[in-house]
Amino acid sequence: MRLGVRLLINNIFTYFSAISIVLMAGSLLIIIGPMICKGSGAIFFRSTVEFRELQFNMHNRGSKQALDEQKALAESARTPVYEILNHFKQGIDTSSLQTKVRENYRQYGQQLRFQNIDRNKFTEYRNQAKELRDELVAAYESVDVNEIRPHLQKVLDQANNALFQNTPIAEYFQFARDYQQIISTVDLRKRDQYAQELTKVQEQIRLLLGPQPGRGKPALAMDQYGATRMDRAKVVLDELMWTTQWVEIEKGKPLQKKRTPRAEIFAGTEMEKLFSYIEQNLNAMLLPKPAVYWQYLIDDSTPGHFFGGIGPEIIGTLLLTLLAIAFAVPLGIISAAYLVECAGDTITVRIIRICINTLAGVPSIVFGLFGLAFFVLYLFPLAGMQSKPCILAASLTLALLILPVIIRASEEAIKSVPQTYKEASLALGASNFKTFISVTFPAALPGILTGIILSLSRAAGETAPILFTGAVALGPIPRSIFEPTRALSYGSYDIAVGDRIAALVPHQQFGIVTALILLVLGLNICAIAIRWKLAKRFRGT
Amino acid sequence: MVTKVLSMPSNERHVIKINRPKMEAKQGNPGLSGSPEVNTIIESRNFWLYYGSKPGVRDITMKVYSSSVTAIIGPSGCGKSTFLRSINRMNDLVPGTHAKGYLGVNGTNVYDPKINLVNLRQQIGMVFQKPNPFSKSIYDNIVYGPKLQGVSKADLDDLVEKCLHSAALWDEVKDDLHKSALALSGGQQQRLCIARALATKPNVLLMDEPCSALDPIATGRIEDLIIQLKKAYTIVIVTHNMQQAARVSDRTAFFCLGELIEYDTTDHMFTNPSNKQTEDYITGRFG
């Protein structure tokens, strides 16, 4: 019976351990799996013609001929959109029409002056034109259809006046005819509302298709191209098609989201068909194609991570991590060797041990501030260097952060080398130093590497220590260790806290985080492979 | 008159009187009976070794003669290993040890502060209880010591072969000298350790229970080896195994509680011990 109970307890223990390991692995997959899936979206996605244009303009990738063909194809699909938009705008955007009318009048006056006609005639012609101008302006300013019609009629009555043939005034008749047509379809009382919605529609169309052709190139790179990715295009399209309001459905209850089709606002106007046109012809306008943008890992990004890749971030993180390891590992191993082999067990050594253990638990932001105060503000000026954050300061700070971990791990590893190995070496006449170098240290190396693996991940992932000491969100690839750098950890933090960027480029954020995870994983796999090889040699198989 | 009770059932016989046997041991002429031509190589006179304030061995006076095997036997904690490890000063690794008296090898006091430890340890090879080859190749294990001595690279190959022959390991490993030493079996590893110790060309070979971690077959081979090696080397072996001491050694010293109780030729010791305590120990009534 007692044996049965013992077996039962044994089994329960075994199953619990197995279940907890499975749970742990599962939760790890649940956390990391989706992140890697989303992050891989930064490399594998459906690219649009805008993306290909961007790649060609910025990096000279792809063939010019194919791009031009695609652009022409997309252009032809886009033309109706701009036609509808511009035409509708003429009826709505009356202030710009008024400016146009006045401009034409001024041009007419100058034209008359050059014709050398006598003064009275000049005044008469000009007054006639002025009359037409005022009629048109009055028509544009009014919102009452019944008022506008007579104004436009008066203008159109002069349509056959020979006086205005081939002059800027002749355009007035076209304006009047257009406007006549528009007021029969558009409710002029809604004009302000239309104008407001129209700016939103124009903005979404710009996000979708890029700047309107023939309107000049915007200054910012992020305004020069439309949606480069089909998934982003879908989001923009959704915002174009629907308006979202927060409405109070029940008094006292939280506001609720209500979506209405934007087309409803433009009901009865020619704009209505724009929405269905864009929705149906999105693919024709953007020409989506699956893309593998592996250059994401090496490309620089345009300011704000709007386009481009994370090359500088990866280089920066690698630099920071490896430099930190390069600083911390020799120091850590020497300290550990001293503590184990030479220091003995005095009060001072015990205090040093307690300090090291405490340091391992100090929050990283404290190290960051220390790095700023000590390296950047104190040590650099003392050494005659410029007192500014840089890679050197950041990696030294990271080295301090991981030093306690490395010392502790190395100490344990050196301690766990069997005394008999050291004795064997000493008995052969080797000095203490020689024994440490050729026997103790190689035997302790796998254990020391475990500490290095742990600290590698920590150094690569930490944001706080490099926040003040050497990380920047934007900036060129550093050319020396005395310049600040970008880093994956700081980059993802910056995107997350930066105002709108995270919402506009979610793939960038996931891409950075995934790159960080994979980078750490890659570094760890390297270290584990080395450790495995060493351990294998140590086991002698 | 100091009396000590060992951790055994309280029985009159197990009460050991410390100073009586010591007197007897000194009275004899240890080891010299029957072979007057041998030379003394290790000599200890009133040697004490302390761990902190506690003595590990007390007042040892004995001589070890060259080209012979000297076994040290005794119950656990009797100081036999301490004495052995004093000879090449391996006890220095334990913090707080200090020595009193004289312990000389080839006429030099090993506890002389001016002594060159490297030279001393290269003169005295040591084989440990547990086989402890380095995690290097067989070849590198053997050349470790000679390299420290500055033996030229050209001579190393010959030396390795010679040492492996001496340790009766050559035939087994000659084809994979560059394989890891840790891939060998326990007995092979121990013979490799012996070869490694021989590589520095020592005069004396100290063996600290070299067979206690090995099976009887491997033990047999090591014992054969010891008997072969004693032609060229002076061997001091610490063992728990009385049969082993009887089989391999020329002289035997019996230690108890840090003191040398009896020291004589092995034949004499095992057939006609002059001390009651020795008799009890080797007949298995105690220890």
| Measured torsion, CA atoms of residues A158, A162, A167, A172, in degrees rounded to the nearest 10 | 10
**Contact state of B200 with A429 under an 8 Å Cβ cutoff:** yes
Structural domain includes residue A79? no
Cα separation, A420 vs B127, whole angstroms? 10
Residues of chain A with Cβ-Cβ distance to B118 below 8 Å are 429-431
Structural domain includes residue A34? no
Residue B32 distance to chain A (closest CA, Å): 30
How far from each other are the two terminal CA atoms of chain B, in whole angstroms?
A: 22
Cα separation, B136 vs A538, whole angstroms? 8
**Contact state of A429 with B122 under an 8 Å Cβ cutoff:** yes
Question: Out of B119, B182, B196, whose CB is closest to A428?
Answer: B196
| A124 and A206, same domain (yes or no) | no
Residues of chain B with Cβ-Cβ distance to A426 below 8 Å are 90, 93, 121
Q: Does A442 touch chain B (CB under 8 A)?
A: yes
**Contact state of A439 with B134 under an 8 Å Cβ cutoff:** yes
| A178 and A203, same domain (yes or no) | no
Asked which of A278, A303, A328 is the last residue of a domain, the reply is A303
Name the band, by pLDDT with cuts 50, 70 and 90, for residue B38. Answer: low
**R_g of chain A, CA atoms, integer Å:** 36
User: At CB < 8 Å, which residues of chain B contact A?
Assistant: 88, 90, 93, 95, 117-122, 124-126, 128-130, 132-135, 144-145, 148-149, 179-184, 193, 196-197, 200
Residue B1 distance to chain A (closest CA, Å): 38
Asked which of A183, A199, A229 is the last residue of a domain, the reply is A183
Nearest to B181 by CA among B193, B194, B165: B193
Q: Does A425 touch chain B (CB under 8 A)?
A: yes
**Contact state of A423 with B128 under an 8 Å Cβ cutoff:** yes
Question: Out of B95, B121, B130, whose CB is closest to A428?
Answer: B121
Question: Out of A427, A438, A538, whose CB is closest to B126?
Answer: A427
Q: Are A515 and A313 in contact (CB under 8 A)?
A: yes
| A323 and A405, same domain (yes or no) | yes
**Cβ count near A9 (within 10 Å):** 10
**Residue given tokens 């529609």 in the structure block:** A201
Cβ-Cβ pairs closer than 8 A, A with B, add up to 79
**Contact state of B125 with A427 under an 8 Å Cβ cutoff:** yes
Question: Out of B88, B148, B181, whose CB is closest to A434?
Answer: B148
What are the phi and psi torsion angles at A254 (to 5°)? -60, 155
Residues of chain A with Cβ-Cβ distance to B95 below 8 Å are 344
| A431 and A533, same domain (yes or no) | yes
Helix axes A119-141, A94-114, angle to 10 degrees: 170
Structural domain includes residue A460? yes
Tokens of A341: 């082999």
Tell whether the model's pLDDT for residue B19 goes beyond 50.
no
Residues of chain A with Cβ-Cβ distance to B149 below 8 Å are 429
Cα separation, A466 vs A318, whole angstroms? 13
Tell me the sheet residues that pair with B69. B235
| A244 and A276, same domain (yes or no) | yes
**pLDDT tens digits, B86-107:** 998 888 888 888 888 999 888 8
Nearest to B136 by CA among B174, B168, B181, B202: B181
**Contact state of A434 with B135 under an 8 Å Cβ cutoff:** no
Task: Determine which of B139, B144, B193, B198 to mutate to test the interface with A (most A C-beta atoms within 10 Å).
Answer: B144
Q: Does A540 touch chain B (CB under 8 A)?
A: yes
Structural domain includes residue A39? no
Structural domain includes residue A219? yes
Residues of chain A with Cβ-Cβ distance to B200 below 8 Å are 428-429
| A381 and A274, same domain (yes or no) | no
**How many angstroms from the chain centroid is the CA of residue A42?**
10
Question: Which CATH number does the domain housing residue A399 bear?
Answer: 1.10.3720.10
Q: Indicate the pTM of the whole model.
A: 0.75
Domains identified in chain A, total number:
3
Tell me the sheet residues that pair with A326. none
Q: Does A531 touch chain B (CB under 8 A)?
A: no
| A439 and A536, same domain (yes or no) | yes
Q: Does A231 touch chain B (CB under 8 A)?
A: no
Compute the average pLDDT of residues B12-16.
38
Tokens of A350: 């015990």
Asked which of A183, A211, A235 is the last residue of a domain, the reply is A183
**Contact state of B200 with A428 under an 8 Å Cβ cutoff:** yes
Tell whether the model's pLDDT for residue A341 goes beyond 90.
no
**pLDDT tens digits, A364-399:** 999 999 999 999 999 988 888 888 899 999 999 999
| A367 and A457, same domain (yes or no) | yes
Of A85-89, A345-349, A466-470, B54-58, where does mean pLDDT reach its minimum?
A85-89
Structural domain includes residue A229? yes
DSSP secondary structure letter of residue B50: E
**pLDDT tens digits, B163-206:** 898 888 888 888 888 888 888 888 899 889 989 998 988 889 99
pLDDT, averaged across chain B: 82
| A294 and A333, same domain (yes or no) | no
**pLDDT tens digits, B202-228:** 889 999 988 888 888 888 888 988 998
Compute the average pLDDT of residues A204-232.
83
Structural domain includes residue A7? no
Tell whether the model's pLDDT for residue B121 goes beyond 50.
yes
| A240 and A369, same domain (yes or no) | no
Residues of chain B with Cβ-Cβ distance to A419 below 8 Å are 93
Tokens of A233: 């295009």
| A469 and A326, same domain (yes or no) | yes
Structural domain includes residue A497? yes
| A167 and A204, same domain (yes or no) | no
Question: Residue B269's pLDDT is what?
Answer: 87
Question: Residue B3's pLDDT is what?
Answer: 42
**Contact state of B93 with A422 under an 8 Å Cβ cutoff:** yes
Residue B198 distance to chain A (closest CA, Å): 10
Q: Are A62 and A53 in contact (CB under 8 A)?
A: no
Compute the average pLDDT of residues A192-217.
82
Residues of chain B with Cβ-Cβ distance to A434 below 8 Å are 148
DSSP secondary structure letter of residue B13: G
Name the band, by pLDDT with cuts 50, 70 and 90, for residue B21. Answer: very low
Q: Does A541 touch chain B (CB under 8 A)?
A: yes
Nearest to A428 by CA among B183, B196, B272, B2: B196
Q: Which residues have C-beta within 8 Å of that of residue B150, sequence separation ≥ 6?
A: none
Q: Which residues have C-beta within 8 Å of that of residue A368, sequence separation ≥ 6?
A: A397, A464, A465, A466, A467, A468, A469
Residues of chain B with Cβ-Cβ distance to A422 below 8 Å are 93
Q: Does A116 touch chain B (CB under 8 A)?
A: no
Using CA coordinates, name the residue in chain B closest to A421: B132
Q: Are B211 and B239 in contact (CB under 8 A)?
A: yes
**Contact state of B132 with A426 under an 8 Å Cβ cutoff:** no
pLDDT, averaged across chain A: 86
Q: Does A346 touch chain B (CB under 8 A)?
A: no
Cα separation, A206 vs A280, whole angstroms? 18
Exposed, middle or buried by CB within 10 Å (0-12, 13-18, 19+), for B231? exposed
Domain encompassing residue A444: 311-540
Tell whether the model's pLDDT for residue B15 goes beyond 50.
no
**pLDDT tens digits, A74-97:** 888 888 888 888 877 776 777 777
